[in-house]
Each structure stands twice: as structure tokens, then as C-alpha cells.
Chain A
Amino acid sequence: AQSVTQLGSHVSVSEGALVLLRCNYSSSVPPYLFWYVQYPNQGLQLLLKYTTGATLVKGINGFEAEFKKSETSFHLTKPSAHMSDAAEYFCAVSGIYTGGGNKLTFGTGTQLKVEL
């Protein structure tokens, strides 16, 4: 069984400030971890993912996340927020087994607001 907890349904930062969106997961198997961004009335766009190897992963638009197994966390960060970063962000987990049977389990999402 897998689950994802995103702390903070709403996060507000000033433009240029650090963005930190928190994600903790629970998984009975080694996890694959993902961050997706969703703009209003649009589908999901993959920001970054952790599969194996380096625990610090870099994604698009200057975002990065670090997989910390000991803390079961996969927090998303960006050094300097931009107005265009305002969106809904979802953390998700799946198993690593091949065969197409892995389902994504999503967190409840965090709405990021960027203020001038």
C-alpha cells in the first residue's frame, strides 16, 4: 500500500523567495516519486521524478527535489520563485515493478501562490 501526504494545502511566497513544498510518502515497496504541476483547467505536467540513483533530482523550471529515505520525504524546492510558478503541485508515488501494474497515488496537492 502507498500513500502521500502533502503538508500545507496552500503556500504563499514572495517573488524571488525560496519555494518549499513538502511531501512525505509511505510505501511497502521501493518507491518511484514524482512531482507534477497543474495549471488551471489543464492536465498534469511532470516536473521531476526520482527512480534510482542520485537522490537529488533536478527538474524543469528550476525545481529540484531530494529523496530522503530515512525521512520518507521528497520535498520540492526552487531557490527563487517566479510569478509563473503559481499553480497546483502534486506529489505522487508508485511502485517500481515493471509490467504496467503500478498505479500512481497522489497527494492532495499544494496550491502555490506567488506574490509581488
Chain B
Amino acid sequence: GAVVSQHPSRVICKSGTSVKIECRSLDFQATTMFWYRQFPKQSLMLMATSNEGSKATYEQGVEKDKFLINHASLTLSTLTVTSAHPEDSSFYICSAFADRGFPDTQYFGPGTRLTVL
């Protein structure tokens, strides 16, 4: 099946620094990727839709200047948390459509645990 990877799997940073998380589709091209955020013992909340070659579409309440998304190629999307604060600590998960024509082909990455001190 289709594989999505994320790097790093875990990151600890100091407050005020920026952190970049990569999401890669390893064996397929993904024109659309999604970024989710999950707080402890809660569900996944969609943050934004990342489209290759165009600007990301952010969900209501998500600060686009805080969470920068770049989908530079058909296999890579990055999420940069700028000027991170402790409240940004969370589990970030990306997903990608293996076939944009079929909405049931969304595959998830293993997630990135961000801890901001």
C-alpha cells in the first residue's frame, strides 16, 4: 500500500524557535496533503489542506502565519511552526491522497510529537 512518512518523529524545542516538519509520500505522487493536529486523548483536527504548487487552505481558527505550509513538490509538504510556544505542543499528523480521483485513498503519516519548552 501507499506509504507516507514524517520527519522528525519527535522534536523538542525552546519557546520562540521555529520547527519544520516534513511529510513525504514515498511511493506515489500526492497533489493534495492534509495537516492535522491532535491534542492528548482527543480527536484529529484538520488544520489545513496543502495543494502542490498553490497556497494552502487553512481551516477556520488556524493562523496561517503561525503554521506555514509549503507543498513544493508532488511528494513533499512541510509544516513550519513559527515562533513556537508551549501551547503549540501537540501531535501533528499529515495525510496524502494516493489518487486524487478517489476520496477513499487517503493515507496517514506516523505523526510528529512536538514539545515546546
Contacts and interface: CB of A to CB of B under 8 A. Distances in A.
B81 to A, nearest CB: 18
B111 A41 contact: yes
A98 B42 contact: no
B93 interface: yes
A53 interface: no
Interface residues of A, number: 27
A43 B110 contact: yes
B49 interface: yes
B97 interface: yes
Contacts of A36: 108
A98 B102 contact: yes
Interface of B: 4, 6, 31-32, 34, 41-44, 46, 49, 91, 93, 95, 97, 100-104, 106-111, 113
Interface of A: 32, 34, 36, 41-46, 49, 51, 90, 94-100, 102-104, 106-109, 111
